[in-house]
Structure 1
Amino acid sequence: MTKPYAEVIGDPIAQSKSPLIHGFWLEALGIDAEYRRTQVGADDLGAFLAGRQLDPDWRGCNITIPHKQAALDHVADPGGVRASIGAINTVFRGEDGTFVGTNTDAGGFYAPISDLDLPGAPVVVIGAGGAARAVLFALSRIGVGPVTILNRNVLKAAALLSSFGLKGKALPLGTPLPPAALLVNTSALGMVGQPPLDIDLDPLPDDAVVYDVVYAPLETPLLKAARARALETVDGLEMLVGQAALAFELLFGAAPPQDRDDELRALLTA
């Protein structure tokens, strides 16, 4: 007998912690369903989603690199995500069975910093990929400014600032940091298998917050340097769990149990 299931797709996919997170919540809530990981190459995305359309047990999927933008071409977009964030990380079945795309990264990013006084505050964002889009979308809704993006491709970064209506500037990666209330690394630098993020945090004020969306390793060189300066930090698990919680409700129709967050974090860091 088959059971309902959802999954995370990407290429590569072995590093994803999503099955651990969603599996923990399914067990905690006593929901008889599964959450899997599936490697899907860039050329196979359309055929994969078309095949899942025929599977009545399929509840949807989370999406990671490199499909967050390409997946928009294969799903309905009633929330206008293409025109706003420009990338999706979750696909679920609508009431009529249509596949709907949305993005829970923006909400997941914002949740850990929702208590900060950021309107009008200067922010630095490192990177200009899919994660940066979600972060910049959230920052534009908060009303921060100015925003400085550090990226290898300066023109791409400048275009992102313009598309989200943010005032600021784009500078090459490696440029000294301007003073900022919040520094966010949205790039893969510092991730296992990637070069470290080599950056001097001295220009940041003592009350700055350093946020790294990388979660493997959890203690990135960036966060280690920030803690050495006694700066407040937010690690990648915060955003990962936050976006997963929003997606879980869409996929399985129930909110995850918040009273077990400490237990989940211990499981993810074991």
Structure 2
Amino acid sequence: MAPQHAATPDVSKTSRNSPKAVYQELRRMLLDGVIPPGEAVSQVQLAKQLGVSTTPMREAMRLLEGEGLLVFEPNRRMRASPIRPADVDSTFASRIALESVAIRITVPLLETQDLEDLNARLSEMDEAREARDIDSWDSAHQAFHALLVSRVGDPMNRAVRWLADQTERFRRIGFGAAAPTIWESTMAEHRQIVESCRSQDATSAARLLGTHFGHAALALFEQWSLEHEPAEVRAAIAALDSAPAGGHRP
């Protein structure tokens, strides 16, 4: 069975040209690679494709430029942000560094319901894996990772979300339909992270989470055959072993 992706909806039928809905749909198209990296985008053509007016499309594109998903060129055209090997390296390294801190903060504060929610997301990922349903797996996967860092303050949370969006874009575009072939190994890593959370071992959870992201980054470099040494990712992984111990709940 081939992996299934949700079809692009006619935004106007459900939202009446809501700028938020147009923004969310265009953002999904960029993150999923429906609009390939580096491709020129036309405000008029995209508005026609989604069945909306150009006003909410213009606002959506402005917001997405601010997020770095679109780039504005001197000739006044927009392009989907290109994916450069150095950016993949640096972005994954940043996520490793930041989320290894965020999970250290979160683990001692997790309650029984949080652990149940983590296991529920694991079950959803398992079901999606068996059905080869990429969209459902992605949804559960994002919710799982959000729970792991859910106790940090708003400034850190915003930075975490931005880095997560960027690395998820790399992953979705890089692996595409091949994603189900790597789910089994990533599920084993997810389960190990949950066990560390359950035992309140923040140090182990941080190391496992950072290594998990490192594996994803290195797999992408191999998948794309990128001629770039991911020095920042390797340095971020190495730093996990030099971080101070601690983080158990008293």
User: Do Structure 1 and Structure 2 share a fold, with TM-score over 0.5?
Assistant: no
Instruction: Write 1 or 2 for the structure with the bigger share of helix.
Output: 2
Q: Classify the TM-score, shorter chain.
A: under 0.3
The TM-score normalised by the length of structure 1 is 0.24
Higher relative contact order (CA 8 A, sep 6+): 2
The TM-score normalised by the length of structure 2 is 0.25
Instruction: Write 1 or 2 for the structure with the bigger share of strand.
Output: 1
